[in-house]
Amino acid sequence: MLDNNIKISIITVCYNSIDTIENTLQSVLEQTYNNIEYIVIDGGSTDGTLDIIDKYKSRINYFISEPDSGMYNAMNKGIKLATGNFVYILNSDDTLYYESTLTDFVKSADNSFELFIGNLIFLETDGKKSLQEFDEVDKMSMYYFGLHQQAIFYNRKVFNKYGYLSEDYKLASDIIWLYDRIFFEKQNLKIKYLNQTFCNFKIGGRSNNEAHKQQSAKERSQIVQKYLNSFQMKIYELYKYKTYPVMHKYFRSIARNPKIAKPINKAARGFLRFIFGWKIYMVKD
C-alpha cells in the first residue's frame, strides 16, 4: 500500500560534474512519487555544473554551492538539512533505476527499520551492465565486494542516534560508518533487505583515478588492521595480493554472467564468512 505521507529526502553532492549532473537531476525529478525533498550540495563548481543546476533550481528544495572539506562534509550538510522519514544519497554520476523506484520503495518502507538494503545495476566504463544483489552481506564481503551507499535507504533517525559520517576520511567514510555501527559497536541496527533495484551505479570517475584508488585502499586497510587478528590478516593478505588480482584479471567477464557468478560469489562469501564471521542479519520480504 502506498503511503503518500512518507517523505523521502534525496541528497546529491557534486563538484564539477557537468557531464553527468543533468541525468542525475532528471532521474529524481521524473519520479512518479511526489513527496520528495531534494537537496543538492555543490562544492563550488567552476565547469558549468551550476548552469545546469540552475535550470532545475525551482524544483530543488535546498541548494548550497560553497567550498567544502570533502564529499562527506558535503553529505553531512545535506543530512542535517533533511527532514524526510528516509534519506537516500545519490551521487552526481548515478541515476535512480527507473521512474517508479521511490514509489516501489515507499510501498515496502516500514519506520521500525533503520536501514533498507537493495540492489544496484553496475554500469562499467565499457558499457556492460550487471545486477549486484546485496541479499547476503558480511564484514569481509562488504570490504571486498562493497556495500555501496546507493544500495541503502537510511531511516533519518539513525544519524541522530548513531552519529554522522566521519569527515576524517576522503573516500571510505560510508563503509567505515557501516562497519562501526553494524559490526563493532554492536548497535544492533534493524535492517531489512528489499529485492528491489535502487540505482544505476556508474563504475569509474573518481574511483578510476590512481591517487583515489591508493587513498581508498589506505582507508579500507585501516578497517582490517583495526579489527582482524593475525590469522585473519594472513588470509586477508593472501586473498588481496594473490587471489583477487588473478580473479580480476582473468575472470572478470564471468562476473557479468549471473548464472555463473552467483554460485561462485555464494561460495566465496561462505568461505569469507567462515574465516571472518559476522554476517549482517537482516529481515527479508
Residue 2 lies in a domain: no
Q: What pLDDT does residue 81 have? A: 97
Quickly state the pLDDT bin for 187 (edges 50, 70, 90): low
Range of the domain at 135: 8-284
Residue 27 CB coordination number (10 Å): 21
Q: What was the pLDDT predicted at 208? A: 54
**Whole-number average pLDDT of the chain:** 85
Q: In this structure, is residue 22 part of a structural domain?
A: yes
User: Average pLDDT for residues 130-153, to the nearest whole number?
Assistant: 79
For residue 78, tell me if it sits in a domain. yes
CA 17 to CA 37: how far, in whole Å? 21
| Residues ≥6 apart with Cβ < 8 Å to 80 | 164
pLDDT at 205: 54
Give the C-alpha separation, 98 to 16, whole Å: 25
Q: What percent of the chain has pLDDT over 90?
A: 50
Q: Judge whether 52 and 26 are in contact, CB under 8 Å.
A: no
The span from the CA of 12 to the CA of 139, in Å, is 27
Report residue 221 as a C-alpha cell: 586497510
Crossing angle for the helix pair 21-29 and 49-56, to the nearest 10 degrees: 10
Question: 132 has which bridge partners?
Answer: 120
In a domain, 173, yes or no: yes
| Cα atoms in the Cβ-side hemisphere of radius 13 Å centred on 94 | 25
* Per-residue cell: 155: 531511516
**Does residue 220 fall inside a structural domain?**
yes
Evaluate if residue 168 carries a pLDDT over 70: yes
Selection from 37, 39, 115 nearest residue 76 by Cα: 39
Helix axes 210-227, 230-238, angle to 10 degrees: 150
Kindly indicate the confidence band of residue 274, based on its pLDDT and cuts at 50, 70 and 90: confident
* Residue 132 confidence (pLDDT): 87
Give domain status of residue 100, yes or no. Answer: yes
pLDDT grade for 184, boundaries at 50, 70 and 90: low
What CATH number is associated with residue 94?
3.90.550.10
- pTM for the model: 0.86
Does 24 or 219 have the greater pLDDT score?
Answer: 24
159 in any annotated domain: yes
One-letter amino acid of 33: Y
What is the three-state SS of the chain?
CCCCCCCEEEEEEECCCCCCHHHHHHHHHCCCCCCEEEEEEECCCCCCHHHHHHHHHHHCCEEEECCCCCHHHHHHHHHHHCCCCEEEECCCCCEECCCCHHHHHHHHCCCCCCEEEEEEEEECCCCCEEEECCCCCEHHHHHHHCCCHHHEEEECHHHHHHCCCCCCCCCCHHHHHHHHHHHHCCCCCCEEEEEEEEEEEECCHHHHCHHHHHHHHHHHHHHHHHHCCHHHHHHHHHHHHHHHHHHHHHCHHHHHCHHHHHHHHHHHHHHHHHHHCCECCCEEC
**Contact assessment for residue 59 and residue 29, using Cβ atoms and an 8 Å cutoff:** yes
pLDDT-derived band at 277, boundaries 50, 70, 90 = low
Mean pLDDT, residues 208-222 taken together: 74
What pLDDT, on the 0 to 100 scale, is given for residue 140?
A: 65
**Residue 1 domain flag:** no
Q: Are 175 and 223 in contact (CB under 8 A)?
A: yes
Q: Between the ranges 77-81, 201-205, 233-237, where is the mean pLDDT highest?
A: 77-81
* CA gap 213, 209 in Å, rounded: 6
Q: Work out the pLDDT band at 211, boundaries 50, 70, 90.
A: confident
Q: Residue 174: is its pLDDT beyond 80?
A: yes
138 phi/psi in degrees, rounded to 5: -135, 175
Total domains in the fold of the chain: 1
pLDDT at residue 204 in the model: 66
